[in-house]
């Protein structure tokens, strides 16, 4: 792995210069310009002018090859949700073909929201998949019982940003995201 794809080189303050695989990058933290990869999965770094591959970097073989079609839909039909206390779930617009629901901590969402059940029911009735980032299988808190709802599809460990891009590319290529979001693309999934 590592021979093709998008890579980002960056040196955070007080660190060595690191090489990150584009599909492993996470969003900046507020008030920070640091660049980090999900779960410390940067590709490698430079020590004394010598590249050293990260021994913790894990990759699996890519199972998907996607491209930008000529008639790409630039306004992605994806409803993206970031949970917060007191969150009200929105109506699902007619243009929406998939939902990407982020979580915090290890898969926590606003499970106590009175409108979450109705939101999930509507998504299921309209055959709109709801994909959840940041919720590892096997880890379950009391507040995570809602994740057993069949409308919710937990994604493997991956950068939420990469999952948005993969979902957008799948929809743009006319592929079923339910069948393909769990497949590796550009070493985006962390073992």
Dist CA 6 CA 2 (whole Å): 9
Identify the residue with better confidence: 114 or 27: 27
- The pLDDT tens digits of the residues spanning 43-55 come to 999 999 899 999 9
How are strands ordered across the β-sheet holding 17-21?
Answer: 7-11, 17-21, 44-47, 50-53
Dist CA 21 CA 8 (whole Å): 6
Dist CA 9 CA 64 (whole Å): 25
pLDDT at residue 145 in the model: 65
- Do the Cβ atoms of 181 and 163 come closer than 8 Å? yes
Range among 60-74, 89-103, 126-140 rated most confident: 89-103
Give the residue carrying structure tokens 């998949």. Answer: 129
pLDDT at residue 125 in the model: 95
Query: Which token pair is 144?
Result: 């995570």
- CA 14 vs. chain centroid, Å, equals 28
The DSSP bridge partners found for residue 80 are 100
Give the residue carrying structure tokens 């060595």. Answer: 16
pLDDT at residue 130 in the model: 96
Nearest Cα to Cα of residue 110 among 141, 86, 75, 134: 86
The mean-pLDDT minimum among 22-31, 53-62, 133-142, 144-153 falls in 133-142
The mean-pLDDT minimum among 8-17, 26-35, 137-146 falls in 137-146
The mean-pLDDT minimum among 37-46, 130-139, 168-177 falls in 130-139
Dist CA 63 CA 184 (whole Å): 5
Question: Within the chain, how many helices (H) and strands (E) appear?
Answer: 3, 8
84 φ, ψ (degrees, to nearest 5) = -155, 155
């Amino acid at each position: 792995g590592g021979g093709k794809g998008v890579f980002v080189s960056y040196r955070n303050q007080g660190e060595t210069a690191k090489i990150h695989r584009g599909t492993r990058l996470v969003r900046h933290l507020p008030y920070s310009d640091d660049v980090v990869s999900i779960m410390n999965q940067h590709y490698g770094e430079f020590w004394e002018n010598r590249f050293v591959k990260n021994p913790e970097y894990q990759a699996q073989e890519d199972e998907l090859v996607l491209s930008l079609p000529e008639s790409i839909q630039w306004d992605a039909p994806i409803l993206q949700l970031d949970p917060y206390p007191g969150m009200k779930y929105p109506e699902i617009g007619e243009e929406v073909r998939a939902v990407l629901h982020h979580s915090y901590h290890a898969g926590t969402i606003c499970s106590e929201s009175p409108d979450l059940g109705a939101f999930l029911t509507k998504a299921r009735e309209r055959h709109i998949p709801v994909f959840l980032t940041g919720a590892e299988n096997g880890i379950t808190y009391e507040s995570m019982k809602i994740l057993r709802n069949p409308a919710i599809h937990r994604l493997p460990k991956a950068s939420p940003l990469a999952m948005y891009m993969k979902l957008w590319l799948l929809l743009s290529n006319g592929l079923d995201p339910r069948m393909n979001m769990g497949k590796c693309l550009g070493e985006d999934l962390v073992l």
